[in-house]
Amino acid sequence: MADTRISFDSIFELADSLEILQRLHRTGFVMSGVSEPQTIAAHTFGVALWTLLLLERMPDKTSLDTAKMLRMAILHETAEARIGDIPMPARRYLNGELISQAEKEAVQDMFADFPGDWRLVWEEFEEAQSREARIVKAADKLELMHKILAYEHSHNGEFERFWENDNNFRWAGISEAKEIFEEMKRRHAEGRGQRHQASNEPIPEP
């Protein structure tokens, strides 16, 4: 019987390619002056965690494919190992369709030796049509804004532009995510008031 398992060479090639995500920093945080910016790999862990946390607020969680959602969370930034993390300010000057096509081609190359479901689960996340994909999409933004809350708590960087960008609160039709975003905004406002009170500065108008 033929051995249909993935070869060691293919396993190590993909592992070596994705290892760089443990060293690549999130560009938006670099541009915001964070002293030790989060890596892309740390972000993917955070998305997996927020996927699980979000599920705990959802009454239909037992009917959802948790394993598939965790695969989406782990693999959703795969293309950045080849293309890098393009920050939002730069995307304003780049063709979004070309970026999407480049990401798709990078993923196809990297998963070429692996079963088709590796690529399909990445594409499902990108297309955000299934409920599972939309949950992970929402978790992606929840992780971002939670990390910003953590940076603000340690006075590490400037982030008002993140709070002013509605795209950072895309809840993807998941009402439970919208509720968590509202709680994050409340905590941000509370922390903002405490920071200004500590510095004896008036709180600027929003």
Per-residue pLDDT tens digits for 90-143: 998 999 999 999 999 999 999 999 999 999 999 999 999 999 999 999 999 999
Q: Cα separation of 172 and 127, whole Å? A: 12
pLDDT in tens, 142-158: 999 999 999 999 998 99
User: Which percentage of the chain shows pLDDT scores above 90?
Assistant: 86
Contacts 24+ apart (CB under 8 A), 85-88: 85/24, 85/25, 85/26, 85/27, 85/28, 85/40, 86/27, 87/27, 87/28, 87/31, 88/28, 88/165, 88/167
Beta carbons of 119 and 107 less than 8 angstroms apart? yes
| Mean pLDDT computed over 53-57 | 98
Residue owning tokens 């509605």: 166
Domain assignments of the chain as residue spans, ordered by start: 16-198
- Cα torsion 169, 24, 118, 111: sign: positive
**Structural element, H or E, at residue 139:** helix 131-153
- Classified by CATH at the fold level, domain 16-198 comes out as Hypothetical protein af1432 (1.10.3210)
Cα separation of 10 and 23, whole Å? 21
User: What is d(CA 146, CA 149) in angstroms, rounded to the nearest whole number?
Assistant: 5
How far apart CA 173 and CA 134 sit, in angstroms, is 7
